[in-house]
Amino acid sequence: MIQNITYKKRTIALIIKAGYIKKKGINFFTKRSFLQQVAYMNHPKGYTIDPHTHKKNTRTISGTSEVLIILQGKLKIDFFTPKKKYMLSKLAKKNDIVILMSGGHGFKMMNNCKFIEVKQGPYDARKDKNKF
């Protein structure tokens, strides 16, 4: 269900296949140490989450991670090493979640594709992205 894309024993991406939708409760896909925390939650009617705030906590983040939630279609993802060398390609389909943590990546829409992208901000394309 979770495809772990690694380079030199480090996780550079996760592809969570759509089967997660059948799980109940709170299911984290990421390790506690990852810069981006991603979970799927499935609770019954009447379940409550207590009102809360989040404490101020200074974090040092190096780089930009991204989360893609595929809503429709099929997306081909090309993965590259941090030195921009092609590694492999994978497909993501409807309801798959892709977490991109490091290395390079490129996308090709295999058909009409809709997805949501989430990443840290503030984002500045001139400072945050190197195209190759």
Mean pLDDT of the 77-87 span: 96
Give the global pTM: 0.89
Instruction: Give the CA distances from residue 78 to residues 13, 27, 71, in Å, rounded to whole numbers and listed in that order.
Output: 11, 27, 19
Residue 54 contacts by C-beta under 8 Å, 6 or more apart in sequence? none
User: In this structure, what DSSP letter does residue 95 have?
Assistant: T
User: Domain-by-domain residue ranges, the chain?
Assistant: 2-43+63-121
Question: pLDDT for 19-71, tens place per residue?
Answer: 888 889 999 999 988 888 999 999 999 999 999 999 999 988 888 899 999 99
Q: What percent of the chain has pLDDT over 90?
A: 77
As a whole number, the mean pLDDT across the chain is 93
Q: Is the pLDDT of residue 1 over 90?
A: no
Nearest to residue 2, comparing CAs of 32, 35, 39?
A: 39
Q: Which strand (E) or helix (H) includes residue 126?
A: helix 125-128
